[in-house]
Every structure is written in C-alpha cells, then in structure tokens.
Structure 1
Amino acid sequence: MQVLVTGGAGFIGGHLAEQFAADGHDVVVLDNFEPYYDLGIKEHNVEAARDAAKANGATYKLIDGSITDDDQVDTLVSEADVIYHQAAQAGVRKSVEQPAKVNAYNVDGTVTLLEAARRHDVERVVLASSSSVYGKPEYLPYDEAHPTTPVSPYGVSKLAAEQYARVYSEVYGLPTVGLRYFTVYGPRMRPNMAMTNFVSRCLHGESPVIYGDGTQTRDFTYVADIKRVNAQLLNDDSADGEILNIGSTDTIDIQTLAEVVRDEIDPSLDIEYTDPREGDAEHTHADISKANALLGYEPTVDIREGVSAFIDWYRENKAWYDPLVRGS
C-alpha cells in the first residue's frame, strides 16, 4: 500500500511515516520544511523513516513542497492509496501573530488536498485536528459534542479543516476521519513545548519556567498511542466520516508537570513563573469514549511513565536535540 503523509518530516508525521515504513508500506512524505523550529530535528525524522523503509523492504520518498501547491498535491494524491494529513502551520502563538498564514496552510491547504483526494478516489484521508478547537470548557472532559469555540486563529483553522473533511465525507462520499489530538509528546517532539523547555532547563541546572500560575491543566498523549490508532485506520473503516478525540486517561496541571520533571532531574531547583501566553487554553481533558467504542482505542502510557521515558530519550539524544547544545 502507498501512504502519503503530508507534514511527514514533522513530529507526529515523522513518527507515522516511520511506523508505516516499518510495517512494509511504501511511504511518500510531503513537507515544506517551514523553519518554525530547528530543521535538524526534521532531518532526524526523515532519517528514522528512511532507515525503517530500508530495513523492511519498503520505499520512502521525500518531496520538499507545500500543501498549497495544487499541481504537486494532485500528482502525489493520484499515486496514493491512503493519506495522512498532518501538514499544518503549528503553534497557537504563531497563529496570533500571523493568522492569514495559518489559514492559508491549515484551511486552504486542506481543501486542496481533499479536492485531489475526491478526484482520485483515495481509500481514506485521516486528518490531524486538535483539542484547540474546543476553546474555553463549558464542562470537562470534552466530548465531541462539546461546543467548539476556539480562542486562537490556530484553533479556528483546525476546526475549519476538520469540518471540511467531514463535509467531504457526507457530501462526496470521500472516507475521512478527523482525529482531535490532545497535547502529543515524546521523542523528537517540537522543542518549543512546555515539556521540552522544562527538561532542557533542568538538565542544564536552570529552573523550569511556567507561563502563568501553573494551574492550567493538560491531557498529554504519548506519541506511541497516536501511532497505534493511526496505523489501525489504514485498513479500518469503523470511524469513516467521524471526528474523534484522541487523548489519554489522566490530566496533569503544569505546576505538577514541572515538579515531576524537576524532581527526576534535579530536585534542588526552584520553579519560576512569568506572564501567561496569549491564546493558550486554560484546560484540556479528553473524553475518549467515542474512540474507544468505534476503534477500541485505549491509551497505554500515563504521564509519569511518558515523562520518564522522554527524559531518558532526551539524555541519549541531547547532542543533536537540545537547543542549548546545538547553539553552542
């Protein structure tokens, strides 16, 4: 089977490309290498997927291009069996600064892809959405029926993208699945996330810095659980036309997360606080009962296990991953 992964040099896309290649599928990655963070991390994502393909008799092809390029997207989609649409301009704060750019990638780019998928009758499009679509909670945990009132242009763009995918399923019969991810973390994650900042600072003997008072809560999801549910959707049509929360079973406040990281690395460090960041949601917590009912989805890694595993991985890969080491 040939799998097209848009944004396949990024964090989640890179892990998906690696997983599909390891399973023996031919993988094509489309990524424009937007320098939102150090591109060396993307290069390691590419290397990991390419190595998996070589080891398992699969092919891996990398295309440096944009999801907004109609002709290029059409050509790649025409050769694909299943599409995993991970490409997006990420970052809540970036979206506050550049809303038009975020819309161009996340909304216009998604429509470009869906149109090509409809023309070429692909088997399925699995689209990465986000818990950012919910905005301020009216109740927790969020179920898929919760009102969607995003508080950032990024959240608005992901909501529009997932709704376009749903409509293409209903109106045109294109099999689509929208997955609302809840704060995915793990090896090779973006270095500008709270967890990576905490780990990096602590490993360098510096206090972790919390934006706000630390009472914000997050539902952190380990990337291995994300890979598993996406791999299942390669051949499983049980969720076609649906939008599903993909999260974990427990939440943690940012204060406690900082303490967990600090205590494992250097308990002597204090915790520092600074102003909250504009556009960040106060709380996220996923109700995953729908994903469980349709796909049997169950997260397997709790936050403390995941943090410990990530710290171990970070130490082993510090030379190329740590921003302070790379900048020295």
Structure 2
Amino acid sequence: MQILVTGGAGFIGSNLAERLLSEGHHVVVLDNLDPYYDLGIKEHNLSACSKASSNRFEFVEGSTTDEELVEDVVATHDIDVIFQEASKAGVRTSVEQPKDYNESNINGIVNVLEAAADQDVKRVVNASSSSVYGVPEYLPYDEDHPNYPKSPYAVTKLAAEHYCNVYDDLRGVPTVNLRYFTVYGPRMRPNMAISNFVSRCLNDEPPIIYGDGEQTRDFTYIDDVVEANLVLLETDAADGETMNIGSNDNISIRELAEYVVDETGADVDIIHDEAKDADARHTHADVSKAEELIDYEPSTDIREGVSRFIDWYEANREWYEPLVRNS
C-alpha cells in the first residue's frame, strides 16, 4: 500500500513507519522537524526508516499546516492510508503557547482530512491522547468517560477527534481515533519520565519526581501501539470509532523510579521537586473496546518494557545519551 505517516520523524511515527516498510509497504513521511527536542534523535529515526527500505521510503520536510503541501503529497503519491501522528507535543509547554498548539494540532488535522476527502483516501488513523479525559470520575477510563481536558494540548487532541468524526460522517472519510496512553520504548523522546529516570540513574544521578510520586500512569510499550495501527490496514471494523490504546495496567511514578534505580543498580536516593501544572493525576485505560473491535491485546507490562528500554539505551548510549541530556 501507499502510506503517509505524518510526524514520521518522531518517536511513534518513526517506529510505525519502520515497521510498515518491513512489511513491504511504500511509506512517505511528512515531518516539519520541530526542534521541540534535539533533532539528532529525529535524524536517527529517519535513518532507521531509510535503512529499512531506501527504495520504498521517502521523506518530505514540511508541516501539516501547509494545506497545499499536504494536498500535493497525498495526490502525487496516490496515498491509500494516512497515519496522522503529527502533533505539537508537550502538555506543559502548551500552557505557555496555546496558539501554537491550536495552529499545529487543529489546523493540521483539518488539512489532512481535506486532502483525504479530495483524494478518496481509504482511511485516516488519528493519534489522539489519554489527556482528553483529564480529571477522572472513575478508573479505568473507558471511551464513554466525560472529557475534562486540563491543558491546551489536551483540548487540541479532543478537537482533532471531533473533526475526524465530522469528516467521517459528512465527507465519507473513514477515520479512527486511537487514544494513546503514555507511550514509551526505544527512541522515545527525551523529556519523558522513563527516559529521564534511566538517563540519570545510569549516570549515578538521582531521578527527580515532580510532586509526591503517588500519581499513576498507564504506560504503553511502543510495539503494542504499532500493532494496533497495523491492524487498521486490514479491517474496517473500527471505522468511525474512538478507542483507548493502553497497557491495561498502571504504576505510580514513585514505583517506576524505584524500579529504574533497582534495574540500573544506581546508588542514589530519589528526590522530589514541585509538581507541574496541567499534569494529570492518574491515567488507566480500559482497552476492552479495542480488544473487541481489533483484537488488541497489550503484550508488554511496564517492568518488562522498562527493562527492554534500559537494554536498548545501553546499547545505543553513544548517540542517544548526549541528545537526551542536551534536551
């Protein structure tokens, strides 16, 4: 198939693009190389895609906010399916720059959906976020849980979902919204709890927890996220739907930090800093809907996944660590 992965130089997008290439598909990555973190990581991500298949891979530098570019890429490459991974990341940063997030995350998805409608794309799979839930009325979150977004980032993600639903209903563009729950794994972006904890512990520095550490997260391993997306190439069972993609488990940030300390053998004491605005207190996914519609079954629990990430980090430390610590 001819597949467009927007945001394909990023963590999730590049892992997805690389797997699609290994499956024999032709992949176009559209990415604006936003320097939200060190671009050296994105350059390595693109290199991994090129190594997977140089003759079935193309990189286009540009933004989904460029309407003419998006239309041209979709039309000239005769795109079958679009994986919309492009998004301005960062819950905390969005509080300071709400207009930038609105421009990138809302205008971007509208341009993608317009191009999909004009060119009869078979499906648009939109990367959404557990942040749309906000304050929990109950846990685990199912898809019927009310939405109380606590940051501009979360608002843009929820708006993007609604745009997908509208284009599905009014323009006949098959769309699926996948609500990711804190994705982690090889090549993950540096300013996340797991990458920070591992980096600091491997350098005999104490992990820093923001707040009391009792907040909990449903961490989802990258391979499980990629598998959920790949299934949507083969089935229309989820068209028009919104689904949680999580691990079906959660862990406190304190427990996570303690586990990283133990696994790395660091002789350090955990330290605490002031809690950050807009961070969710708890997340936990009910993935039964995804199980029913696409046979989604998360295969990697947090401890196994963190151990894998530590092994990967150590094997790739020469290039990855300087970029993590500079971001």
Q: TM-score range by the shorter chain?
A: over 0.9
Structure-1 residue corresponding to 2:61? 64
- Paired residue for 2:48? 48
Aligned with residue 74 of structure 1, among 71, 76, 97:
71
Q: CA separation in 2, counterparts of 1:220 and 1:70?
A: 34
Separation in 1 of the partners of 2:62 and 2:312? 30
What's the offset of the Cα at 1:326?
6.7
SS of the equivalent of 1:19 reads: helix
1:196 matched to 2:195? The reply is yes
Cα deviation digits, residues 84-143 of structure 1 (max 9, x gap): 000000000110110000010100111111011111110000000000000000000000
- Contact map agreement 1:319 1:326 (CA 8 A) in 2: no
Q: Does 1:31 align with 2:28?
A: no
Question: SS of the counterpart of 1:189?
Answer: coil
Deviation of the 1:268 alpha carbon: 2.6
Q: Which runs of 5+ in 1 are unaligned?
A: none
Displacement, 1:302?
Answer: 0.4
**So what's the TM-score if we normalise by structure 2?**
0.97
Paired residues in the alignment total 324
Is the CA contact 1:133–1:158 (under 8 Å) kept in the aligned structure 2?
yes
Counterparts of residues 243-262 of structure 1 (less than 5 Å): 243-262=242-261
**Alignment partner of 1:98 is 2:101:** no
CA–CA separation in structure 2 for the residues paired with 1:316 and 1:325: 15
- Shift of the 290–325 alpha-carbon distance from structure 1 to 2, 3 Å rule, reads closer
Cα drift, residue 170 of structure 1: 1.4
Once residues 247 and 322 of structure 2 are traced to their aligned partners in structure 1, the CA distance between those partners, rounded to angstroms, is 28
Question: Does the aligned pair in 2 maintain the 1:191–1:323 contact within 8 Å?
Answer: no
What is the aligned partner in structure 2 of residue 311 from structure 1? Answer: 310
Is 315-324 or 275-284 further displaced after alignment?
Answer: 315-324
SS at 2:89 equivalent? coil
Q: Which moved more, 1:166-175 or 1:287-296?
A: 166-175
What is aligned with 1:21? 21
1:318/1:325 contact within 8 Å kept: no
- Deviation of the 1:264 alpha carbon: 0.8
* Unmatched runs of 5 consecutive residues or more in structure 2: none
Runs of 4+ in 1 over 3 A off after TM superposition: 323-327
Residue 266 of structure 1: CA displacement?
2.3
Tell me what 2:132 maps to.
Answer: 133
Give 2:205's aligned amino acid: E
Aligned CA distance change for structure 1 residues 324 and 290 (closer, same or farther; 3 Å) = closer
Rounded to whole Å, the distance in 2 between the matches of 1:312 and 1:65 is 34
Write the distance in 2 (CA, Å) between the matches of 1:62 and 1:325: 24
- Structure 1 residue 171: Cα displacement: 1.7
Which amino acid is 2:295 matched to? G
**CA gap 1:324/1:127 in 2 versus in 1, 3 angstroms:** closer
**Deviation, structure 1 residue 267:** 4.8
Distance in 1, Cα, partners of 2:149 & 2:324: 36
Compute the displacement of 1:324 (Å): 7.0
Aligned to 2:299: 300
For 1:228 and 1:136, locate their aligned partners in 2 and report how far apart those are by CA, in whole Å: 28
Q: RMSD across aligned C-alpha pairs, in angstroms?
A: 1.1
